[in-house]
Structure 1
Amino acid sequence: MGIVAKRIAMAKSHLKIMENKYTNETNLSIKQSKIYSPKDFLQKPHIKYTHYANLSFKEENTAHAANNLKNIYPNLKTAILNFADYLTPGGGYLNGSGAQEEVLCHESNLYSVLTNFTDFYQWNREHINHHLYQNRAIYSPNIVFTNLDGTLVNKFDVITCAAPCYNRANFDNISYRTACEVLQNRMYFVKTIAEENHVNNLILGAWGAGAFGFRGKEVAKMWHQIWAESSPVENVCFAVIEHISTNNVDIFEAEFS
């Protein structure tokens, strides 16, 4: 069995476990999820906090980084950024893809939550914006993360938000500089969502670097600029694992270690 076929089989098996074992938790996360769009923060005044987030780097996947921070700070709210597909809940989870969003779905009940937001994704499909997409997100509390057999490991809040896709926007004559400006604005959008929901620990990463066409060094520096501003968020961890043809681990380690 090839890797794609294996992932498809694992996804189907995992989805069945989530549906059988965590229906109540899934329904509660759906009920408590919030949809964010650009207009939500148009009138929000700029707040100057007295605290600055502690920034760190870990060479590990998103869920592992969240679990490690939760073990250190068990009483603090921990949230993670889902590097979302703008058009499809869970991206290629059921089709054997293995990017960050799909890995999160393999580890949790996130897919079962996101598939209930059909109107959110339908609106997105009608507003592609030259593949820069829009500042749109779903904040889902208490997503269940499990072992392969379905036993509970932890619960984390998840911010589902898509980065702009420069590799596609480029074909619509969108400049790299313009795409970077959109990405940095969306980073600020994510930061504001975390602050609005009183997140203490936040797991981010090389969002947009790689398949979406942004250079890792610039992504890391943009994140650093965003978090140079004060924030009530206490700890921000950049969790990065290496992929073929990128050196994002070295880049983010140099930027945040």
Structure 2
Amino acid sequence: MSTSHQARRNALKQIARETKAMTPTISASLPHLAPTVSHRFALETLPPLDPAKCPGFRLSPTTNGTPISVIDSDSFDAAIAMPSSVLSPLSNNPPTTTTDLEKSILSLLSKDAASPDNLTATAPRVAVLNMASEHNPGGGWMSGAAAQEEALCFRSTLAASLQGSGWYPIPDRSGLWTRDVVVFRSSMADGHALMVPELETGKLPVVSVVSVAGLRRPGVKTVTVGEGKRMVFAEERDRDMTKDKMRLCLRMSATQGHTMLVLGALGCGAFRNPPEEVADCWLEVLQEKEFEGGWFKHIWFAVFDRKNDGNFPIFKRCLDGKEIGVVSVGAGGE
């Protein structure tokens, strides 16, 4: 390991220790929230979504459905920006890059976006996918690892809801839901700066987190598609399992009343899942009948391409600008 890499890991270990030490104080100052509590759900015991309960978000005067955007962003930065961007009558377009988001985060916070003081239900609370380790709560965050799960834990109270939960190991078709995750540090790109005390605790962003593990290093193979080649799952059962995990993410979120989601490239980092296949699986699941009719106001895929490994352009080509679950309805309001 190079000296610079070790220094980086050591710095992240210190951030993790500080975040862990601060979490009890942050939690105690927000008694109406439960940042240390998570719940486990299993696909086989979570009923399919009931069409009669679908909120029916409009795409146009005559159609219901859900638009999808793909942005190059940290997941929490996307979640902080999402309510203002999606719910604003002046803009239907999300920021497209992390830089765009960073320019707007402080102004959003100053307007109390997604803060404990103005969120009383989960409907406006963005649900963020944590691409979790199935074995270790928070992954390797205390040892300075830096994948997506660790990035979420460095910034927030998330790890406290996972550690000591008794839910591990997470079974293949199960996931965890943490209703109250308080974000109190900036992103890694901004040096994990503390938002407090400059920002009152009651004004800190709060999101919900759905923790689901991608398959760990499944078998893959190369196939020819047209004039090119791509990696796919070697076993059809792994593709089927991945789609079940995606159904679980969506079903958990909708069942808990979330209408805005920040999803991601499930398993496409350290777990080495084939990104083209994962993007296709997301689109196939999102287009299933269960999710028709406008269950979600908007879905963003935050695919942070820090290593320039190609996941962002792959997901953007496959998913960005798509409208899913589209059904025709009579003209009129929601």
Normalising by structure 1, we get a TM-score of 0.84
Distance 2:172 2:286 in 1: 21
> 1:206 and 2:265 equivalent?
yes
Find the counterpart in structure 1 of residue 209 from structure 2: 158
Judge conservation of contact 2:36–2:157 (CA < 8 Å) in 1: no
Larger helix share, 1 or 2: 1
Judge conservation of contact 1:58–1:239 (CA < 8 Å) in 2: yes
Which has the higher Rg, Structure 1 or Structure 2?
Answer: 2
Find the counterpart in structure 2 of residue 130 from structure 1: none
User: Which of 88, 93, 98 pairs up with 2:141?
Assistant: 93
> 1:255 and 2:300 equivalent?
no
Look up the SS of the partner of 1:149 in the other structure.
coil
Find the counterpart in structure 2 of residue 62 from structure 1: 75
Q: How does 1:1-257 map to 2 (within 5 A)?
A: 2-23=7-28, 25=30, 28-31=34-37, 33-41=38-46, 44=48, 47=51, 49=54, 50=56, 51-72=64-85, 73=87, 76-117=124-165, 119-121=166-168, 123-124=169-170, 133-147=171-185, 148-151=193-196, 152=201, 153-167=204-218, 175-229=234-288, 230=292, 231-244=294-307, 246-257=309-320
188-197 or 15-24, which moves further after superposition? 15-24
Judge conservation of contact 2:35–2:157 (CA < 8 Å) in 1: no
Give the share of equivalent positions with the same residue, in percent: 19
Distance 1:80 1:99 in 2: 15
Judge conservation of contact 1:84–1:91 (CA < 8 Å) in 2: yes
- Report deviation, 1:24: 5.3
Judge conservation of contact 2:49–2:251 (CA < 8 Å) in 1: no
Look up the SS of the partner of 2:304 in the other structure.
coil
Aligned residues: 242
Distance 2:22 2:237 in 1: 43
| Structure 2 unaligned blocks of 5 or more | 1-5, 57-63, 88-112, 114-118, 186-192, 222-232, 321-334
229-238 or 72-81, which moves further after superposition? 72-81
Q: Which amino acid letter does the alignment assign opposite residue 242 of structure 1?
A: D
- Report deviation, 1:226: 1.6
Distance 2:43 2:28 in 1: 31
Look up the SS of the partner of 2:172 in the other structure.
coil
Q: Which amino acid letter does the alignment assign opposite residue 155 of structure 1?
A: V
Look up the SS of the partner of 1:165 in the other structure.
coil
Judge conservation of contact 2:27–2:34 (CA < 8 Å) in 1: no
- Report deviation, 1:29: 3.2
Runs (4 or more) in structure 1 with deviation over 6 Å come to none
Look up the SS of the partner of 2:128 in the other structure.
strand
- Report deviation, 1:218: 1.3
Distance 2:284 2:28 in 1: 40
Distance 1:45 1:202 in 2: 16
Q: Deviation per CA, 1:184-234, whole angstroms, max 9, x where unpaired?
A: 111011111111011111000111113212211111111112222314111
Look up the SS of the partner of 2:161 in the other structure.
helix
Look up the SS of the partner of 1:166 in the other structure.
coil
| Structure 1 unaligned blocks of 5 or more | 125-132
- Report deviation, 1:77: 2.5
Look up the SS of the partner of 2:179 in the other structure.
strand
Q: Deviation per CA, 1:26-75, whole angstroms, max 9, x where unpaired?
A: 872344x321013322x547648554221101111100111110223357
